[in-house]
Amino acid sequence: MSGCLFCSIIAGDIPSEKVYEDDAVYAFRDISPQAPVHILVIPKEHIESAARVTKDNSACVARCFEAIALLGEKLGLGDYRVVSNCGARAGQSVFHLHFHVLAGRDMAWPPG
């Protein structure tokens, strides 16, 4: 979608540190890591947030989680947290569905 930062990253118009890509999913390192490993896993299809997932577009969400499991193995992440901020008040700043994969340190619960 034009004007979407993550669509521009998928298209290669904005550089990223890619760690995984297939026909449905793109994954890259977060520019402002909140843990020793901080990867963003995104569907190539533009979906605004988790609140916009429907029966018609949810297959790419499953594909994101398949990619996360693969990355967990490939990168030897050990235990990790998967987070999707949904809406500005929950901390979403980029309105293209994405899953933060955080690893490499102990995680507090509940999050702040």
CB of 78: closest distance to ligand AMP in angstroms?
21
Between 26 and 92, whose beta carbon lies closer to ligand AMP? 92
Cβ at position 68, least distance to ligand AMP in Å: 15
Query: What is the 3-class SS of the chain, one letter each residue?
Result: CCCCHHHHHHHCCCCCCEEEECCCEEEEECCCCCCCEEEEEEECCCCCCHHHCCCCCCHHHHHHHHHHHHHHHHCCCCCEEEECCCCHHHCCCCCCCCEEEEECCCCCCCCC
Q: Are strands 18-21 and 25-29 parallel, antiparallel or unpaired?
A: antiparallel
Tokens of 83: 């987070």
| Binding-site ranges for ligand AMP (CB under 6 A) | 5, 14, 16, 30-32, 40, 85, 91-94
**C-beta of 12 vs 55, nearer to ligand AMP:** 12
Q: Which of 38, 96, 98, 100 is catalytic?
A: 98
Catalytic residue check, 98: yes
> Minimum CB separation from ligand AMP for residue 27, in Å?
11
Q: Would you say 33 or 79 has its CB closer to ligand AMP?
A: 33
Which residues are catalytic, by number?
A: 98
